[in-house]
Amino acid sequence: MSLHRHREGHKSMVHVRPGIDSIKLYVPGRATTGLSEIGELPYVPLASNESPFAPLPSVVKAIEEVVGKLNRYPDPGVYALREALAAELDVPLAQVAVGAGSMTLCLQAVLSTCGAGDELMFASPSYEGYPLLASVAGATAVKIPLRDGAHDLDAMAEAVTDRTRAIFICNPNNPTGSTVEAQRIERFVEEVRDDILILIDEAYAEFMGDPIKTVGLSLVRRHANVVSLRTFSKAHGLAGLRVGYLVGQPAVVEVVQRSHMPFNTNTLAQAAAIASLKDRDGLAARLAEVRTERAFVLDGLRQLGLPVRDTFTNFAWLDLGDQAEAFAAEMGRHGVLVRPLPPHGVRITLGDRVANERALATVATVLATFERDLSPA
Ligand SMILES: Cc1ncc(COP(=O)(O)O)c(C=O)c1O
């Protein structure tokens, strides 16, 4: 019997559901946790929009307190965390679902609404996970190009068909960092059929400003077909624990939860997320630091002559078009891992000051090796 490895290009002998064979495997940013082949140093990991900060001390303490209970299953109803979120967001408990990262909740939402031949719409470029969700559900991905770096909601409304079942609006958008005005999103929700699930993916909401105002939450209160997706992976710095949440009216939350696998949010993640929500000052201090670093990096990139848009997130976006792959490869050769998203551009996550200085110096070095001007035509 031959050994079948799950790598692109390896053929399996087992029967495969139609459509699965053509799924393009998700290519993650290179891991730098020390468990990967590259090891911890000397790479500067700016490819995956992670937080550069270790979890807050209060969060580490909460994790330590539950380590001795790992012989037990996690709370399948995730009650304590859902209660904390419901209180934080001022919504009833029935409006909150928690999962192993917001990506798991996105998958549940798509599996519950889209089947073979149905259409899942999202912008392009937007979060790289969305096409995978469509393929796994057997749905058709409908990609609507951004206009001027932001969601083109006119074009998205026009592209709706009888088969459209769900639409992602990534706000702020990964990878461009752009946002759409709350009133424009609301108008879009009113323009499209109300049997279409609208997912406002707000993974980067905390970086937008203080206090955090999410478009999704205010829409959820008025529209039964809208959900807001949030995560502890970014601002809260808990990407390695996998915990995210979804907020919607009770009926739509129930629809999403029909595709839920029990126990997927582990005990450490539940305890850590509760502690992180409680530590408001700790989070606020880190968000302030991210804003300072954001100004530093955007300014540095502009001084290098790069046309960089404002960003409302923890990453910067370079419109490098078909130069993206070569630019990122060159950055990688100099020890700075950034994310190429050809043919659109390169995304650079904000790090701490040391990482950001190294990134800017490396961008300067790499720019000098490119013969042609990297500004878009
Ligand atoms: C826009 C967006 N949505 C969802 C996710 C997935 O986040 P999580 O770690 O909560 O699964 C990401 C992660 O990069 C993202 O950028």
Domains, the chain, with CATH or none: 44-54+281-369 (3.90.1150.10), 57-278 (3.40.640.10)
Q: Is the CB of 174 under 6 A from ligand 1?
A: yes
DSSP per residue over 102-125, as a string?
HHHHHHHHHHHH--TT-EEEEEES
pLDDT recorded at residue 36? 40
pLDDT recorded at residue 372? 54
> Which protein residue's CA is at the shortest distance from atom 2 of ligand 1?
203
Res 298 pLDDT > 50: yes
Residue 322: strand, helix, or coil? helix
> Which protein residue's CA is at the shortest distance from atom 6 of ligand 1?
103
Mean pLDDT along residues 131-160: 96
CA distance 116 to 118: 6
Q: Is the CB of 52 under 6 A from ligand 1?
A: no
Ligand 1 atom nearest to 232, measured from its CA: 10
Task: Tell me, in angstroms, the distance from the centre of ligand 1 to residue 64's CA.
Answer: 26
* Residue given tokens 């139609």 in the structure block: 18
- For the ranges 168-172, 260-264, 368-372, which has the lowest average pLDDT? 368-372
CB of 17 within 8 A of CB of 234?
Answer: no
CB of 20 within 8 A of CB of 14?
Answer: no
Q: Is the CB of 102 under 6 A from ligand 1?
A: yes
Task: Tell me, in angstroms, the distance from the centre of ligand 1 to residue 27's CA.
Answer: 14
Q: Is the CB of 231 under 6 A from ligand 1?
A: yes
Q: Is the CB of 176 under 6 A from ligand 1?
A: no
pLDDT recorded at residue 24? 76
Res 375 pLDDT > 80: no
- For the ranges 31-45, 87-101, 236-250, 288-302, which has the lowest average pLDDT? 31-45
Both tokens of 299, joined, read: 């300014």
Q: Which position has the higher pLDDT, 36 or 172? A: 172
Q: Which position has the higher pLDDT, 314 or 41? A: 314
Percent of the chain with pLDDT over 70: 90
CB of 276 within 8 A of CB of 63?
Answer: no
- The C-alpha angle 179, 90, 53, rounded to 5 degrees, equals 55
Strand duo 345-349 + 315-318: pairing: antiparallel
Contacts 24+ apart (CB under 8 A), 303-307: 304/360, 304/363, 304/364, 304/367, 305/367, 305/375, 306/363, 306/367, 306/374, 306/375, 307/375, 307/376
Query: Measured on CA atoms in the order 234, 246, 193, 188, is the torsion positive or negative?
Result: negative
Res 221 pLDDT > 70: yes
- Model confidence band, residue 303 (pLDDT cutoffs 50, 70, 90): very high
Mean pLDDT along residues 299-316: 94
Ligand 1 atom nearest to 104, measured from its CA: 11
pLDDT recorded at residue 37? 41
Q: Is the CB of 140 under 6 A from ligand 1?
A: no
Res 369 pLDDT > 90: no
pLDDT recorded at residue 126? 98
> Which protein residue's CA is at the shortest distance from atom 5 of ligand 1?
103
Ligand 1 atom nearest to 126, measured from its CA: 1
Res 7 pLDDT > 80: no
Ligand 1 atom nearest to 127, measured from its CA: 1
CB of 358 within 8 A of CB of 336?
Answer: yes
Dump strand ranges (E) for the chain.
Answer: 44-45, 96-99, 119-124, 140-145, 164-170, 197-201, 226-231, 244-248, 315-318, 336-337, 339-341, 345-349
pLDDT recorded at residue 191? 97
**Residue 33, Cα to own-chain centre: how many angstroms?**
19
Question: Across the chain, what does the average pLDDT equal?
Answer: 91
- CB atoms near residue 361 (< 10 Å): 13
What's phi and psi for 249, nearest 5 deg? Answer: -70, 155
pLDDT recorded at residue 5? 46
* Per-residue model confidence as pLDDT tens digits over 23-73: 877 766 555 544 444 444 468 999 999 999 999 999 999 999 999 999 999
Percent of the chain with pLDDT over 90: 83
Residue 99: strand, helix, or coil? strand
Q: Is the CB of 313 under 6 A from ligand 1?
A: no
Dump strand ranges (E) for 314-370.
Answer: 315-318, 336-337, 339-341, 345-349
Task: Tell me, in angstroms, the distance from the centre of ligand 1 to residue 170's CA.
Answer: 10
CA distance 19 to 136: 8
pLDDT recorded at residue 377? 44
pLDDT recorded at residue 199? 98
**Residue 179, Cα to own-chain centre: how many angstroms?**
14
Mean pLDDT along residues 367-372: 76
- For the ranges 15-19, 34-38, 340-344, which has the lowest average pLDDT? 34-38
Task: Tell me, in angstroms, the distance from the centre of ligand 1 to residue 98's CA.
Answer: 14
Both tokens of 170, joined, read: 């990534």
pLDDT recorded at residue 3? 40
pLDDT recorded at residue 35? 40
CA distance 60 to 271: 10
CB of 248 within 8 A of CB of 91?
Answer: no
CB of 147 within 8 A of CB of 126?
Answer: no
